[in-house]
Amino acid sequence: MLTATKSEYAGKMNLYLNLLDDFVRLPEENPSIGIILCKGKDCLEVEYALRGIEKPIGVSEYRLTKKLPKKLSESLPTPEVLKRGLEE
């Protein structure tokens, strides 16, 4: 949830997106999109925190899990494959 102490994340995200678009993004690339992940979301607070910001910023909840869903784990490389890739 974006709380009073965390609602400034919307402003910080806007700042980072502006910097990214001005100094990193290539002319042929689309404008950057910001994503803020929260434990929960308060729609009213999110609405007010993002009002007036022109950059596309998404807010979504997340849940921690100790086990990846089968469909997701089958599409990701194993730790061994990642390690080999880093060593090469």
For residue 25, which amino acid is it?
R
The per-residue pLDDT for 17 is 92
The per-residue pLDDT for 59 is 79
Q: How far is CA 40 from the centre of its chain?
A: 14
Q: Cα separations (Å) of 32 from 24, 37, 45, 80?
A: 10, 16, 23, 32
Overall pTM > 0.85: no
- Residue 87 in 3-state DSSP? helix
Predicted confidence pLDDT, tens digits, the chain (88 residues): 445 446 788 888 889 999 999 999 999 999 999 888 777 766 777 778 888 888 888 877 777 888 888 888 888 888 888 888 888 7
Q: What is the dihedral of CA 74, 80, 83, 88, to 10 degrees?
A: -100
The per-residue pLDDT for 73 is 82
For residue 39, which amino acid is it?
K
